[in-house]
Protein backbone atom coordinates (compact mmCIF):
# COMPACT_ATOMS: atom_id res chain seq x y z
CA UNK A 1 0.00 0.00 0.00
CA UNK A 2 1.47 3.37 -0.94
CA UNK A 3 1.81 6.20 1.55
CA UNK A 4 -0.99 8.13 -0.17
CA UNK A 5 -3.36 5.17 0.01
CA UNK A 6 -2.57 4.74 3.73
CA UNK A 7 -3.19 8.45 4.35
CA UNK A 8 -6.58 8.27 2.63
CA UNK A 9 -7.49 5.24 4.74
CA UNK A 10 -6.55 6.99 8.00
CA UNK A 11 -8.55 10.09 7.04
CA UNK A 12 -11.60 7.94 6.28
CA UNK A 13 -11.18 5.98 9.51
CA UNK A 14 -11.25 9.26 11.46
CA UNK A 15 -14.49 10.31 9.74
CA UNK A 16 -16.18 6.91 10.00
CA UNK A 17 -15.44 6.41 13.70
CA UNK A 18 -18.42 7.09 15.94
CA UNK A 19 -17.66 8.44 19.41
CA UNK A 20 -19.94 8.39 22.41
CA UNK A 21 -19.77 10.38 25.68
CA UNK A 22 -16.95 9.13 27.86
CA UNK A 23 -14.71 7.87 25.03
CA UNK A 24 -11.07 8.96 25.35
CA UNK A 25 -9.42 10.49 22.26
CA UNK A 26 -5.95 11.79 21.38
CA UNK A 27 -5.74 15.24 19.76
CA UNK A 28 -3.55 15.27 16.63
CA UNK A 29 -3.07 18.97 15.79
CA UNK A 30 -3.31 22.43 17.30
CA UNK A 31 -2.51 23.73 20.76
CA UNK A 32 -4.01 20.59 22.34
CA UNK A 33 -1.90 18.22 20.19
CA UNK A 34 -0.84 15.09 22.03
CA UNK A 35 -3.37 15.50 24.84
CA UNK A 36 -5.93 12.83 25.66
CA UNK A 37 -9.41 14.23 26.32
CA UNK A 38 -12.84 12.80 27.14
CA UNK A 39 -15.70 13.10 24.63
CA UNK A 40 -18.68 15.12 25.84
CA UNK A 41 -20.70 15.06 22.62
CA UNK A 42 -20.12 14.01 19.01
CA UNK A 43 -21.84 14.27 15.62
CA UNK A 44 -20.89 13.19 12.10
CA UNK A 45 -18.17 15.81 11.73
CA UNK A 46 -17.45 17.49 15.08
CA UNK A 47 -16.69 16.57 18.66
CA UNK A 48 -16.72 18.39 22.04
CA UNK A 49 -14.85 17.54 25.23
CA UNK A 50 -15.49 17.51 28.98
CA UNK A 51 -12.16 19.12 29.89
CA UNK A 52 -11.56 22.85 29.86
CA UNK A 53 -13.32 25.96 31.07
CA UNK A 54 -14.90 26.57 27.66
CA UNK A 55 -16.60 24.03 25.41
CA UNK A 56 -13.99 23.11 22.82
CA UNK A 57 -15.46 22.09 19.42
CA UNK A 58 -13.14 20.22 17.07
CA UNK A 59 -13.31 18.41 13.75
CA UNK A 60 -13.38 14.61 13.99
CA UNK A 61 -10.50 14.66 11.52
CA UNK A 62 -8.30 16.06 14.28
CA UNK A 63 -8.80 13.21 16.77
CA UNK A 64 -8.10 9.50 17.01
CA UNK A 65 -9.07 6.93 19.64
CA UNK A 66 -6.67 6.96 22.60
CA UNK A 67 -5.44 3.44 21.75
CA UNK A 68 -5.59 3.89 17.96
CA UNK A 69 -7.89 2.29 15.42
CA UNK A 70 -8.71 -1.41 15.43
CA UNK A 71 -7.86 -3.59 12.45
CA UNK A 72 -11.60 -3.85 11.69
CA UNK A 73 -11.95 -0.04 11.57
CA UNK A 74 -8.94 0.26 9.24
CA UNK A 75 -10.27 -2.53 7.00
CA UNK A 76 -13.68 -0.83 6.80
CA UNK A 77 -12.05 2.50 5.89
CA UNK A 78 -9.94 0.79 3.22
CA UNK A 79 -13.04 -0.83 1.70
CA UNK A 80 -14.81 2.55 1.60
CA UNK A 81 -11.70 4.14 0.07
CA UNK A 82 -11.57 1.50 -2.68
CA UNK A 83 -15.29 1.88 -3.33
CA UNK A 84 -14.79 5.61 -3.84
CA UNK A 85 -16.70 6.99 -0.87
Say if CB 57 and CB 47 are below 8 A apart.
yes
Q: What is the per-residue pLDDT for 35? A: 94
Determine how many CB atoms are found less than 10 A away from the CB of residue 33: 10
- Residue ranges of the alpha helices (H) in the chain? 3-16, 71-83
CA torsion angle 61 66 67 68 (round to 10): 0
All domains of the chain in start order, with CATH: 3-83 (2.30.30.30)
Phi, psi of 72 (to 5 degrees): -60, -45
pLDDT at 65: 95
pLDDT block averages, 10 residues each, the chain of length 85: 65 90 95 94 92 85 93 91 74
Amino acid sequence: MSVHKRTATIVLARQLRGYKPGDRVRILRGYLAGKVLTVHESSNDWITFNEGKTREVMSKGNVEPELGFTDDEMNQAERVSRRGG
